[in-house]
Chain A
């Protein structure tokens, strides 16, 4: 039983990270019909900003050495700035292009950013220690859970609540929702479209920064590809949840995290290694059963 509970906590913690990223992808997809692969670079860049540019395996800390509050704010700010830069220079000029072109462009931009980072820091994984104390296990409801998992759950939970509240109750949030869930409306917003779109990117950059801190604190290491895998899984989560539906993205994120952890926990030993294959096959099956995802958004439906 406690094994099961443990898996649930693991799943929730992982799922909450996916849910956050999925929400970021959902924002941008909803408003631009753009699957933003550069989301992974927001995460990676923010993480690498913690250290002094170097190719060493144990680099000196840069922002990571600053006082905690300043460090967090700086990292989040870097995420926002990077996201706004990609919006301005990579996507604004082509945002009326066909979805296929947008998809490939974001793939290309992400590849570009990734290799720029690689040129500066090399591909060698690096170890970084920030917040080591977060790895300490704590007793919690009869389970021994690493503190970081609780922090992750807390941070992502708070972020999700804040974002949902923002979407529900602020004027900006309502505008985003209107634009994200009704594509035509976004176009009709006219002049203000720039601000709303930039706002969506800013939020996804913010999320990128938060996720990078959580990931670094969890793993204590940096890797050029550290953002890619969670973003791709989160991206499939938005697909499962229903592209264009923000609640669907959150739901999909949690679902993927849970399924992934439960597969890990309960698949027989040999099959466990193929967990990701099951996960992606699961995505395709969901797509077949519900082509518009679990929560279909009106924006996707086609009229005959």
Chain B
């Protein structure tokens, strides 16, 4: 996206931000609370119309399109709070993305979904109602649903939020494999610095609705402005990884 601004009344959530996602790699997006990370995801998936700036997918402009169109153009997402279809089975949750986006028939969509569930390690709960699952499994199913829509870019809004250490590590390992396995780019929003430093090939840092840094994990970790913005006072101990 280019020079994107989003204002809610007098409040500026994003202020002329440029953000480029590279295909076939994991880009991390970090920043303190209120930095505009979720707003950026909403803009990039059509849920929030930017008040200024443009959004391109390749050479195609998508500014002003609906979320449905974004999804069908190949930009899918997960939600911070999961937002699974709680009264549908897990496999139908995942299949629905393939049906909605690619208009697969139901049988084909379920085959496709089952493959993804196997890969992600949730095949054993395929017939359970999504609403009955523990939080960690729900997060994985949310990820599977985002993958199932044949995306060229997947935007993951804090998929590891609220997970225990083991669950979190497993999930991040999976996310790292997404680009090679499904040939798509990933934008990963994450709070946990350790996680994002390990998982991403490049990182973008937001603060106060602006992009304040971009680069490899090592570059970002040693950027003075990042440290200031992210930690208030520079704290070498926490940042050293």
Binding site for B on A (CB under 8 A): 304
Contacts of B48 in A (CB 8 A): 304
Q: How far is the CA of A304 from the CA of B157 in the complex (A)?
A: 12
Interface size class of B (residues with CB under 8 A): under 10
Binding site for A on B (CB under 8 A): 42, 47-48
Shortest CB distance B71–A (Å): 13
Give the number of residue pairs across the A-B interface with Cβ within 8 Å.
3
Which DSSP category, helix, strand, loop or mixed, fits chain B's interface? Answer: loop
Which DSSP category, helix, strand, loop or mixed, fits chain A's interface? Answer: loop
Contacts of A304 in B (CB 8 A): 42, 47-48
Q: What are 3 inter-chain pairs, A to B, with CB distance below 8 A?
A: A304-B42, A304-B47, A304-B48
Q: How far is the CA of A304 from the CA of B155 in the complex (A)?
A: 15
Q: How far is the CA of A2 from the CA of B170 in the complex (A)?
A: 79
Q: How far is the CA of A304 from the CA of B47 in the complex (A)?
A: 7
B67 — nearest CB in chain A belongs to which residue?
A304
Shortest CB distance B235–A (Å): 33
Q: How far is the CA of A204 from the CA of B62 in the complex (A)?
A: 49
Q: How far is the CA of A304 from the CA of B81 in the complex (A)?
A: 10
Contacts of B47 in A (CB 8 A): 304
Contacts of B42 in A (CB 8 A): 304
Q: How far is the CA of A206 from the CA of B104 in the complex (A)?
A: 57
Shortest CB distance A155–B (Å): 40
Q: How far is the CA of A304 from the CA of B48 in the complex (A)?
A: 9
Shortest CB distance A20–B (Å): 33
Shortest CB distance A223–B (Å): 43
Q: How far is the CA of A304 from the CA of B49 in the complex (A)?
A: 12
A304 — nearest CB in chain B belongs to which residue?
B47
Shortest CB distance B227–A (Å): 32
